[in-house]
Amino acid sequence: MNLTTSIRERVRTWMPLEDLLPDHLPAFVRSPAYFFGVITLSSLVLLIVSGIVLAAFGPQWWHDNPVGHFVNSVHFWCAEAFFFSLTLHLWTEFCKAAWRHGRRLTWVVGAITFVAAIGTAFTGYLSQTNFDAQWIAVQGKDALNAVGIGAFFNLMNFGQMFGFHVFLLPLLLVLLVGLHLLQVRIRGVVRPFASTRKAERAEELLWRGARRKKAQAPAATGEVEPRPLPSDQVRYYRGIRMMPYDLVREGLVALLAVLVLVLVFAGIFSSADEPPLTLQQYAQQNPVGFVTTTMGGLSGTGSIAQYGPPYNTGTGSVQSIGPISLQQVAGVTIPIDVAQVYVLEPLTIAAQTDTQLAAALQTFTRASAQQQTAWENAYTDALGQATVSNGHVVVPQGDYGPLPAMMDQLLTLGTSGALDGLLLRSGGFYQNDFTKPLLFLSEDALPARAEQLNMLGSQWGMMNSTGNYPGQSWLWLYTFWYQIPPYNTAPNADVLVWVTMAVLTALLVVFPYLPYLNRLPYYLGVHRLIWREYYRDRRAAQAAGGTGLAAESG
């Protein structure tokens, strides 16, 4: 067999150019309910173009340069337009039961595209390098860690998220959209429901791939026509009036309309860009909180020190469902020794030019574990009565060993901004992983700021944004579960929400295959509005004894 010939003939048969780029479409597509696919596509094109410009100039440009911020705003409003039209496309295609007559895989690919788009947008929010990005990273990490994904997909690693957002996920999205478009053009848009359930059933059997062989069986006897190819739009639309249609023009008009809309929105409303929180700000604005967080790290009582995988072997934030903990299965892949990273290593560096600090560090490290714990407990208790004087944290007199001197130096490192740099150190020169500073800030500083902005998980935070801007409203269902029992009180809420959403997402993807449920759109009746002229004309034809039902005989 000549593979080249085989592929060529299949392409020629399944994808005739007349159907891929038709200049006539069925007259029943006159409803605006058919516009949302092309608007989504237009938004995606503009998203990619604005994204390329942003990637070309880099994060500093979209924060500091007015033109850069404008392009960033265009990108943001394109994303809103994309999800707005994508949601409407999903709703309208659902109401039409657009998976009928052999189009189930078209729906499946479309639904997967929706999920991929959410992932792409999520990594985009993480790549903003502003407060939203910080908070979404530390809030989302718990959900991903709980199911083991966080061990490999680190939301606080800017380099990884940026790579996913500007290349891997857009590539996947474009491939899926391309496949979806191809599927739609090969088979054409689905016809309105047949006049009877029996007729609709016959159509379904005829055009569904697996059953076409059965439909073909009587063909040999000459009783019915040979089975149609899925791409046989001539036969599929038989009896249906076709009208002239310029798909390319429609696409260009939609592109222009979306472009004008996002330019206007970007020009008038701009986009959210709350500056990121730094350790320096935290140390300057809340010295006692800063030192308390640091002590939690040193004594091993802080939430990060007790977190568990992927950072350490603790169990404080380990979640499971029944006996299964994917978080523990994935293991410690981003090891962080909290006491070393946040206290001892920075102080050791500072001690190279500070003999008093070097002596204090030596006293602490040479003390017994029991003595260290006693100092830590006493000092941590004393911090509850601490005051701030001339930028120093002052606690009541007590036996704290060298800890006051150590913490004072660490606070100095924090207020000077040196700690921001020290926590970004890794083995090499280039740094793009913000896991360490973000974990430190996630103990206290970020949640405190997020609560002021209504962005906590208990405040539907994942779908909110800073300022008066729409956030990721498409995450409403995911966020919703965190607000109601048993999710909002369960210790393994993240796993429960993941399982719930995984099941619901799977149901969405395979909805056309669900017996009985897949008839829901027919009973909802919205299709009667979308195709009302078609149904009206069909009734008129039936009343007149015309041939308008020819198409339903297959």
Partner 1 sequence: MGGTAQYLHAGFILISIANLVVIALLIVVFVLAVTLRRPEKSRISTIEATPDTAGTVGEEAANAEVRP
Q: Where are the alpha helices (DSSP H) in 270-394?
A: 279-285, 287-299, 326-330, 338-339, 345-350, 355-366, 369-382
Half-sphere exposure of 65 (CA within 13 A, CB side): 11
Nearest distance, CB of residue 133 and partner 1, angstroms: 16
Q: Which stretch binds partner 1 (CB under 8 A): 81-89, 146-154, 204-212, 252-260?
A: 81-89
Q: Which stretch binds partner 1 (CB under 8 A): 123-131, 253-261, 459-467, 494-502?
A: 459-467
With binding defined as CB under 8 A, does residue 321 bind partner 1? Answer: no
What interhelical angle do 104-126 and 66-95 show, nearest 10? 150
327-346 positions binding partner 1, by CB under 8 A: none
Q: Which position among 7, 115, 234, 517 is part of the footprint of partner 1 (CB under 8 A)?
A: 234
CB environment 264-277: b (16+ within 10 A), e (fewer): ebbeeebbbbbebb
With binding defined as CB under 8 A, does residue 550 bind partner 1? Answer: yes
Q: Which stretch binds partner 1 (CB under 8 A): 161-169, 296-304, 352-360, 466-474?
A: 466-474
> Measured between alpha carbons, how far is 185 from 82 in angstroms, rounded to an integer?
21
Q: Site for partner 1 (CB under 8 A): how many residues?
A: 64
Q: What are phi and psi of 480, to 5 degrees?
A: -55, -45
510-549 positions binding partner 1, by CB under 8 A: 526, 529-531, 533-534, 537-538, 540-541, 544-548
Handedness of CA 240, 244, 248, 251 (dihedral sign): negative
Which residues have a Cβ under 8 Å from the Cβ of 415 and sit 6 or more positions away? 280, 283, 284, 287, 391
155-184 positions binding partner 1, by CB under 8 A: none
263-302 positions binding partner 1, by CB under 8 A: 269-270, 272-273
> Measured between alpha carbons, how far is 500 from 490 in angstroms, rounded to an integer?
14
Q: Which position among 163, 239, 251, 300 is part of the footprint of partner 1 (CB under 8 A)?
A: 239
With binding defined as CB under 8 A, does residue 469 bind partner 1? Answer: yes
Q: Which stretch binds partner 1 (CB under 8 A): 31-39, 100-108, 222-230, 249-257?
A: 31-39
Which of 157, 466 has the CB closer to partner 1?
Answer: 466
Strand pairing report for 24-26 and 387-389:
unpaired
Q: Which position among 174, 181, 224, 242 is part of the footprint of partner 1 (CB under 8 A)?
A: 242
Question: Residue 110's closest CA among 512, 461, 463, 518?
Answer: 512
Paired with 388 in beta bridges are 393
Give first-to-last CA distance, the chain, whole Å. 34
Residue 222, Cβ neighbours under 10 Å: how many?
8
With binding defined as CB under 8 A, does residue 139 bind partner 1? Answer: no
Determine the residue type at 359: A
With binding defined as CB under 8 A, does residue 244 bind partner 1? Answer: yes
Which of 340, 458 has the CB closer to partner 1?
Answer: 458
Nearest distance, CB of residue 69 and partner 1, angstroms: 11
> Measured between alpha carbons, how far is 217 from 480 in angstroms, rounded to an integer?
51
97-116 positions binding partner 1, by CB under 8 A: none
Q: Which position among 28, 114, 193, 400 is part of the footprint of partner 1 (CB under 8 A)?
A: 28
Q: Which stretch binds partner 1 (CB under 8 A): 43-51, 348-356, 429-437, 451-459?
A: 451-459
Q: Which position among 36, 307, 342, 440 is part of the footprint of partner 1 (CB under 8 A)?
A: 36
Residue 214, Cβ neighbours under 10 Å: how many?
12
Return residues touching partner 1 (CB under 8 A): 24, 26-28, 30-33, 35-36, 80, 84, 87-88, 91-92, 95, 234, 237-244, 269-270, 272-273, 453-454, 459-460, 463-471, 473, 476, 483-484, 526, 529-531, 533-534, 537-538, 540-541, 544-548, 550-551
